[in-house]
Amino acid sequence: MEGNSILHGKRILSVGAGSMAEAIIRGLIHANAVDPSQICVTNRSHSDRLQQLNKLYGVRTVEGADTHAKVRELAAADVILVACKPYDVANTLETLVGKIGNPVILSVAAGISIPLMESVLGGRPQVVRAMPNTACAVLQSATAVAFGQYCTEEAKRLSQEILSLLGTVSVVEESKMDVVTGVSGSGPAYFYYMVEAMQQAAESMGLSPETARTLVLQTMTGAAKMLQETGLDARELRRQVTSPNGTTMAGIRALEEADFKELIERTISRAAERSKEMGEQQASLLVDRKL
């Protein structure tokens, strides 16, 4: 662990202990970027889940109901990772008001806008909205980030440092976050779906499950490495696989007949729309509550 890192001695409190919180915690611990004692996790319920995270990663935990300990953790936090479901964000942030200093509020919640979070927190909170993906767990996330109006340079550097330990970081305008969510937040699931489909097809055509898994996984990994390491774009790499009138051409033709590119556009667009919709729902609930 680097003693001179901007993360040195910083306290990170994760509000939420689900898949995304675990992916980030696992990544930070595996990157050897923080000492487990710098991370504390809290959850609304399920103390067995907190115990599990403590056992797996050595992080500290506080139970939702453990009020004194929680108040202490909130007051001391340098970064509060908001990793609960989008519909829980506003209520969760409300419970922080008056109990926190001026930490970086690092939200990974899909759809929930920076202005909404700023308005719930009141004052001049340092809100950072990020959209990582679960590959944080293996330090390969494609993360996009947008900064709120009250973020200091230090807050921007701190959040970027944390996120860049977990993979690539692209700074975007907040208005692009729904699209980002459709592309790279949900993206791993499309990829896994493709893997499932290829494995299923391979098995139904007579390959053993083990052979199907090995061939499909290595094909995906090899193709991803070719994209990264050759610097060639996908179209050129595809051309190199496609012999005139050969097998690949026959396979690609089936994808074209099914309008594969249009299907992918629809897939990303639906996910992006859902992100926008979730944000709008939460914003209107908040307006209703204030009336």
Ligand X SMILES: NC(=O)C1=CN([C@@H]2O[C@H](COP(=O)(O)OP(=O)(O)OC[C@H]3O[C@@H](n4cnc5c(N)ncnc54)[C@H](O)[C@@H]3O)[C@@H](O)[C@H]2O)C=CC1
Residues that bind ligand X (CB under 6 A): 15-21, 42-45, 64, 83-86, 88, 92, 108-110, 131-134, 185
185 is a contact residue toward ligand A1CAB (CB under 6 A): yes
Cβ proximity to ligand A1CAB, 103 vs 185, nearer residue:
185
Binding partner of residue 160 among ligand X, ligand A1CAB, none, CB cut-off 5 to 8 Å per kind: none
The rounded distance, in Å, linking the Cα atoms of 114 and 96 is: 16
User: Which one-letter amino acid corresponds to residue 155?
Assistant: A
Residue from 186, 199, 272, 276 in contact with ligand A1CAB (CB under 6 A): 186
Cβ proximity to ligand X, 39 vs 212, nearer residue:
39
The rounded distance, in Å, linking the Cα atoms of 113 and 276 is: 9
Residue 125, annotated ligand binder?
A: no
CA-CA-CA-CA torsion sign (50, 51, 57, 58): positive
Residue from 53, 79, 110, 128 in contact with ligand A1CAB (CB under 6 A): 110
The rounded distance, in Å, linking the Cα atoms of 162 and 123 is: 25
Residue 86, annotated ligand binder?
A: yes
User: Which one-letter amino acid corresponds to residue 160?
Assistant: Q
16 is a contact residue toward ligand A1CAB (CB under 6 A): no
* Sheet containing strand 167-171, strands side by side: 60-63, 39-43, 12-15, 79-82, 104-107, 126-131, 141-147, 167-171
Query: Coil, strand, or helix at residue 98?
Result: coil
Least Cβ distance, residue 87 to ligand A1CAB (angstroms): 11
The rounded distance, in Å, linking the Cα atoms of 13 and 61 is: 9
Bridge partner residues of 130 (DSSP): 145
Closest CA to 175 of 93, 276, 261, 87: 276
C-beta of residue 41 within 8 angstroms of C-beta of residue 17: yes
C-beta of residue 34 within 8 angstroms of C-beta of residue 10: yes
**Directed axis angle between helix 114-121 and helix 260-290, to 10°?**
20
Cβ proximity to ligand X, 40 vs 155, nearer residue:
40
132 is a contact residue toward ligand A1CAB (CB under 6 A): no
Please choose, out of 87-95, 159-167, 181-189, 234-242, the segment that lies near ligand A1CAB by the rule CB under 6 A.
Answer: 181-189
One character per residue 65-104, x = contact with ligand A1CAB (rule: CB under 6 A): ----------------------------------------
41 is a contact residue toward ligand A1CAB (CB under 6 A): no
The rounded distance, in Å, linking the Cα atoms of 59 and 72 is: 16
Least Cβ distance, residue 173 to ligand A1CAB (angstroms): 19
Query: What is the bridge-based pairing of β-strands 126-131 and 141-147?
Result: antiparallel
Binding partner of residue 113 among ligand A1CAB, ligand X, none, CB cut-off 5 to 8 Å per kind: none
Least Cβ distance, residue 86 to ligand A1CAB (angstroms): 7
Residue 290, annotated ligand binder?
A: no
Query: Coil, strand, or helix at residue 13?
Result: strand
Please choose, out of 26-34, 51-59, 95-103, 179-187, the segment that lies near ligand A1CAB by the rule CB under 6 A.
Answer: 179-187
Residue 84, annotated ligand binder?
A: yes
Q: Which residues are annotated as a binding site for NADP(+)?
A: 83-86
| Residues in contact with ligand A1CAB by the rule CB under 6 A | 110, 181, 185-186
